[in-house]
């Protein structure tokens, strides 16, 4: 499960466009953040993606992506040209091909590497779909988990929704804002498609799986927030959208929390393992924010400088390591879940005091900016957040656990399997 949104200047009320996404994955699937430089390649170079090797292009754009550690591709990202993309799993009646192909996260990264604007990025995906198809395991532990994909693809001037099934697609240009959440949103109202005229793409949906995914509810929550705040939306508002819970106690019922919390191995088995918000400013400037860890309701969005990312956010594998920023945060995250009602006010206070400070002090910057004060601000944000999380961990030692079954058993098994130290 995931949630992705794109907001243009008409809805922000400024000359800024904003992209945001929560990436919901298996709970112990570390999500790392890479800043990848632009690069030129010799002719006939080959590129190893997650499942297959494809032809490389002559040159690629620099990008920042947030990605599951074991995949080549990414869940969300932005490139130096100001193209931002997030993907969503689509559950359809269309079966995957038997031969390996590209998976949705590969398509996302390839579009960022090769697309100079939103339209070009969309057609990178369309062309690759036609050539290679989309096939392959999309789960870290559950290798039988696979899906088709939808994408929000945006730049400073336009927003597009691209929805796919096997090698077919529908593309729609959107005015002002777009939200996608694990369900097909385009019926016959597409602008471009590989399908015959008047084809209703929504009829390809698997309605039962889509229902249990909770996509319609989460999509509605984000759309309601955007419409309610039209003309005055800033990054802080998008942070709040990505922290949204249906109720104060998350992890209950179907998958209706935008800030997703796993609680069982059957219905609620996805966890928000990474979050990103990107501001696309005029004059080719940016502001990029990431959590660097799970559950945005429990931690702050930190500013990221592509030219000098904070250390350890690019490290992560399938088991706890103190060298990994994501895994160090995970010790805090899982310990906090055991006492959520007590920890949540402390986390909310820490977020309120720090996030607004970083936001206010951070001007828009060029992609390759190496401004020493901005780099220090970014690095201090990560340090300060981790310091505060460690302080809250110490407070947890005197808090009674309030986990309820089966959530308690689910997370205890997770911690034991992954070697996560808990309090």
Catalytic residues: 2
Instruction: State whether residue 229 is helix, strand or coil.
Output: coil
State how far the alpha carbon of 54 is from the alpha carbons of 37, 46, 98, 107, in Å.
20, 6, 18, 12
What whole-number distance in Å separates Cα of residue 411 and Cα of residue 333?
A: 11
Asked whether the beta carbons of 161 and 171 are under 8 A apart, the reply is: yes
Per the listing, tokens 């007590």 go with: 342
Asked whether the beta carbons of 260 and 1 are under 8 A apart, the reply is: yes
Residue 114: which of 105, 125, 102, 101 has the closest Cα? 125
What whole-number distance in Å separates Cα of residue 240 and Cα of residue 249?
A: 16
Angle, vertex CA 4, rays to CA 257 and CA 223, nearest 5:
70
3-state helix, strand, coil in the chain (%, to 5): 30, 25, 45
Token pair in block for residue 4: 């992705």
Provide the greatest CA pair distance for the chain: 64
Token pair in block for residue 41: 């390649």
Torsion angle, alpha carbons of 341, 229, 378, 345, to 10? -10
Asked whether the beta carbons of 327 and 321 are under 8 A apart, the reply is: yes
Kindly state the helix (H) or strand (E) to which residue 285 belongs, with its residue range.
strand 285-290
Asked whether the beta carbons of 7 and 17 are under 8 A apart, the reply is: yes
Q: For residue 214, what is the DSSP state?
A: T
């Amino acid at each position: 499960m995931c949630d992705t949104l794109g907001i243009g200047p008409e809805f922000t009320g400024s000359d800024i466009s904003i992209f945001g996404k929560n990436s919901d994955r298996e709970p112990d699937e570390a999500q790392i953040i890479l800043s990848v430089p632009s690069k030129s390649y010799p002719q006939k170079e080959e590129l190893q993606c997650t499942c297959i090797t494809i032809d490389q292009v002559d040159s690629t754009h620099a990008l920042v992506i947030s990605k599951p550690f074991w995949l080549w591709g990414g869940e969300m990202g932005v490139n130096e040209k100001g193209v931002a993309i997030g993907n969503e799993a689509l559950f359809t009646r269309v079966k995957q091909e038997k031969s390996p192909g590209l998976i949705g996260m590969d398509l996302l990264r390839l579009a960022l590497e090769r697309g100079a604007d939103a339209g070009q990025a969309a057609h990178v995906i369309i062309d690759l779909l036609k050539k290679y198809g989309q096939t392959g395991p999309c789960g870290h532990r559950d290798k039988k988990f696979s899906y088709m994909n939808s994408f929000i693809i945006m730049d400073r001037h336009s927003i597009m929704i691209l929805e796919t099934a096997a090698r077919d697609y529908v593309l729609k240009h959107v005015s002002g804002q777009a939200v996608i959440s694990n369900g097909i949103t385009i019926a016959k109202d597409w602008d471009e498609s590989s399908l015959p005229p008047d084809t209703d793409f929504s009829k390809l949906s698997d309605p039962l799986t889509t229902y249990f995914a909770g996509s319609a509810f989460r999509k509605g929550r984000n759309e309601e927030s955007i419409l309610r705040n039209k003309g005055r939306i800033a990054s802080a508002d998008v942070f709040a959208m990505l922290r949204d819970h249906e109720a104060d106690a998350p992890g209950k019922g179907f998958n209706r929390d935008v800030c997703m919390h796993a609680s069982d191995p059957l219905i609620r088995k996805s966890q928000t393992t990474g979050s990103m918000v990107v501001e696309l400013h005029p004059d080719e400037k940016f502001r990029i924010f990431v959590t660097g860890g799970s559950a945005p309701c429990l931690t702050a969005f930190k500013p990221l400088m592509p030219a000098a990312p904070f250390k350890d956010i690019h490290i992560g594998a399938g088991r706890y390591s103190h060298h990994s920023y994501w895994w160090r945060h995970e010790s805090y995250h899982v310990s906090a879940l055991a006492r959520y009602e007590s920890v949540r006010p402390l986390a909310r206070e820490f977020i309120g005091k720090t996030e607004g400070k970083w936001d206010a002090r951070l001007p828009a910057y060029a992609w390759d900016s190496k401004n020493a004060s901005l780099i220090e601000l970014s690095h201090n944000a990560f340090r300060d957040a981790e310091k505060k999380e460690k302080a809250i961990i110490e407070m947890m030692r005197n808090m009674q656990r309030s986990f309820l079954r089966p959530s308690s058993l689910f997370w205890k098994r997770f911690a034991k399997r992954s070697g996560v130290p808990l309090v």
